[in-house]
C-alpha cells in the first residue's frame, strides 16, 4: 500500500501551492496559537486556493469545540488533527460534526499505546514523546513501537511522524509500512514554518520510492 504524504506546519501561500503541485496528499495547517508554526485564521484566506486532490488538515491542541467550528466554517478544512490531551468523548464530538479526526499520541514505550483503545478514531498519529512540546521537534521514537501498534490495532490507520526526513523516509516506509507519513521540521529551511522545496520534493519521492 502506498503511504499518503502529509507536509505539516505550512504558513505561506506560495509554498503551500508549490507543495501541492509536488504531489503532497495533505497539507497540515497549525491553528494552535502556541505553536511556532501557528497560522491565524485571519491570515489563512489563501487556503481556498489549494487545489484538489490535496486536502487540508487543521492541527489543534486541546481546543474548544467552538474554535474548531469557527475554523471549519470556512469549508476549507475537512480533516482535524488533535495533538493534545483530548478525551475520547471530545474526539467523538468532533466526528459528529462530520469531520475526519486524526488523533495524535506521543509514544515512548509500549504502555503509551494502551490509551488508544479508548478512542473512537480510525486515524492514529504516532509521534515522539516530549514532556511539554507537541510535535514538530524532529525527534524519532523507536519504530518497533509502530509495528506493535499495527499488531494491536490492525483496523486503525497508522500515521507515522517524529523525526522523519528525506534521509530516512524510505527506510521508515519500508520498515513500518504506515498508512501515511507526516513531516514538519524535517523539510524546513532552518526556520519553523518555512519549507525547503528541495527537501520537500526529496521527501515525497522517497516516501513513494517503494510503490509498485
At 181, which CATH number?
3.20.20.70
Is the pLDDT at 118 greater than 50? The verdict is yes
Active site residue 127: yes
In sequence order, the 6+-apart residues with CB closer than 8 A to the CB of 211 are: 2
Q: What is the pLDDT of residue 170?
A: 93
Q: What is the pLDDT of residue 130?
A: 57
How do 55-60 and 26-30 pair as beta strands? parallel
Q: Of 106, 99, 144, 147, which is closest to residue 125 (Cα–Cα)?
A: 106
In sequence order, the 6+-apart residues with CB closer than 8 A to the CB of 40 are: 33
Is the pLDDT at 211 greater than 80? The verdict is no
Q: What is the pLDDT of residues 30-58, one digit of tens each?
A: 999 999 999 999 999 999 999 999 999 99
Q: What is the pLDDT of residue 1?
A: 67
Catalytic residue among 25, 123, 127, 182: 127
Q: What is the pLDDT of residue 136?
A: 45
Count of domains for the chain: 1
Burial grade of 145 (CB within 10 A; 0-12, 13-18, 19 or more): middle
Q: What is the pLDDT of residue 144?
A: 87
Nearest 5 degrees, angle CA 53-CA 19-CA 37? Answer: 110
Tell whether 177 is covered by a domain: yes
Residue 193 cell numbers, joined: 514554518
Q: What is the pLDDT of residue 212?
A: 44
Residue 39 cell numbers, joined: 497560522
- Per the prediction, the chain carries an average pLDDT of 91
CB 20 within 8 A of CB 50: yes
Tell whether 120 is covered by a domain: yes
Q: What is the pLDDT of residue 83?
A: 93
Distance (Å, rounded) from C-alpha 116 to C-alpha 118? 5
Tell whether 212 is covered by a domain: no
Residue 91 cell numbers, joined: 474526539
Is the pLDDT at 133 greater than 60? The verdict is no
- For 174-207, b/e burial (b = at least 16 CB within 10 A) is eebebbbbbbbbbbbeeebbebbeebbbbbbebb
Q: Is the entire prediction scored with pTM above 0.85? A: yes
Residue 209 cell numbers, joined: 520510492
Is the pLDDT at 132 greater than 50? The verdict is no
Tell whether 88 is covered by a domain: yes
Q: What is the pLDDT of residues 68-114, one digit of tens each?
A: 999 999 888 999 999 999 999 999 999 999 999 999 998 888 998 99
Active site residue 91: no
Tell whether 122 is covered by a domain: yes
- Give how far Cα 187 sits from Cα of 26, 157, 184, Å: 15, 23, 6
Distance (Å, rounded) from C-alpha 53 to C-alpha 143? 29
Is the pLDDT at 131 greater than 50? The verdict is no
Q: Quick one: pLDDT band at residue 210, thresholds 50, 70, 90?
A: low
Which has more pLDDT, 141 or 44? 44
Q: What is the pLDDT of residue 154?
A: 96
Q: What are phi and psi of 125, to 5 degrees?
A: -105, 125
Domain that holds residue 168: 4-207
Catalytic residue among 8, 91, 123, 182: 8
Amino acid at each position: 500500500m502506498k503511504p499518503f504524504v502529509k507536509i505539516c506546519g505550512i504558513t505561506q501561500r506560495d509554498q503551500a501551492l508549490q507543495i501541492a503541485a509536488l504531489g503532497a496528499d495533505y497539507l497540515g495547517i497549525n491553528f494552535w496559537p502556541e505553536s511556532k508554526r501557528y497560522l491565524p485564521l485571519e491570515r489563512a484566506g489563501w487556503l481556498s486556493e489549494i487545489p484538489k486532490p490535496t486536502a487540508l488538515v487543521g492541527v489543534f491542541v486541546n481546543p474548544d469545540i467552538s474554535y474548531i467550528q469557527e475554523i471549519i466554517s470556512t469549508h476549507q478544512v475537512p480533516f482535524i488533527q488533535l495533538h493534545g490531551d483530548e478525551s475520547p468523548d471530545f474526539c467523538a464530538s468532533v466526528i459528529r460534526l462530520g469531520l475526519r479526526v486524526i488523533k495524535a499520541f506521543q509514544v515512548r514505550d509500549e504502555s503509551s499505546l494502551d490509551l488508544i483503545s479508548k478512542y473512537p478514531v480510525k486515524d492514529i498519529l504516532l509521534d515522539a514523546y516530549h514532556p511539554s512540546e507537541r510535535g514538530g521537534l524532529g525527534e524519532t521514537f523507536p519504530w518497533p513501537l509502530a509495528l506493535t501498534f499495527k499488531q494491536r490495532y490492525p483496523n486503525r490507520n497508522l500515521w507515522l511522524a517524529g523525526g522523519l526526513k528525506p534521509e530516512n523516509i524510505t527506510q521508515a516506509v519500508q520498515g513500518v509500512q504506515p498508512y501515511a507519513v507526516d513531516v514538519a521540521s524535517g523539510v524546513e529551511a532552518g526556520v519553523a514554518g518555512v519549507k525547503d522545496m528541495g527537501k520537500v520534493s526529496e521527501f515525497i519521492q522517497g516516501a513513494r520510492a517503494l510503490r509498485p
